Amino acid sequence: MTDWLGLRGRKALVAGAGGIGAAAAAGLAQAGARVVVADVDEQRLKALTEDTPAITPLAADLATADGCRACVGEAASILGGLDIFVHAVGVNDRRPVLETPDEVWRDIVGINLDSAFWTGKAVGEQMVDAGYGRIVYLSSVSGLLAHEHHAPYAATKGGVNQLCRVMAREWAASGVTVNAVAPGYTETGLTRGHLDRDGVRASLTSLVPAGRLGTVDDLVGPILFLCSAQASFVTGHVLYADGGRTLV
């Protein structure tokens, strides 16, 4: 089969073995990439590699700058370099601004945004030196829309959008593209508990012109495209994969 995406043999690191990260990693592996997936949860890594044996698991804590640099360095050592990086790390804690403790703000910013900067910087150093790279961040429609009870999460996703744009601007001449995929309401382990509350699923579905919530599989194609040879002239872009949610 023709390798239209140009992913066969590419060396990919995916940070985050949860729903979207796991689906992206499996998609990259199926497209012929060599994939390392990093996560702090070893049980989650075990489950992922049992489903997709071609993926190499890497236990890593991305809560510190040193941990992020160590993760990127070890993945590059395993693969012999890095061509692709997907950052799919994120948490949320839904509560009003006035009821958000300092520690909740710090935790969400640390996990969602600090890790995006530290891993992206470490990956960027390698890719700029090599003259080639594809970086894709998982953002959210919350980076654009003002959802109530989402202040720390929305702030981090808006930050990710601007981080990817600045990285894209600085690294474009070195053959490195940096983009983001912004899902709408998507069923994942992060969102399922909230969606299962009375009336929440129906209420959110009513806001999506496509008439349904997203699935992790809906995001694999956009992620793979941005990682591919076909997206060589696309950089600094936030791609909304939201069923039209940002249209209303």
- In which region does residue 56 sit, left (phi positive, over 0), alpha (psi from -120 to 50) or beta (all else)? beta
227, 229, 234, 240 alpha-carbon torsion, rounded to 10°: -40
Phi and psi at residue 23, in whole multiples of 5°?
-65, -40
CA distance 92 to 107: 10
Indicate the angle between helix axes 42-51 and 19-30, nearest 10 degrees.
Answer: 30
Nearest to 167 by CA among 220, 77, 238: 238
Q: Indicate which residues carry an active-site annotation.
A: 153
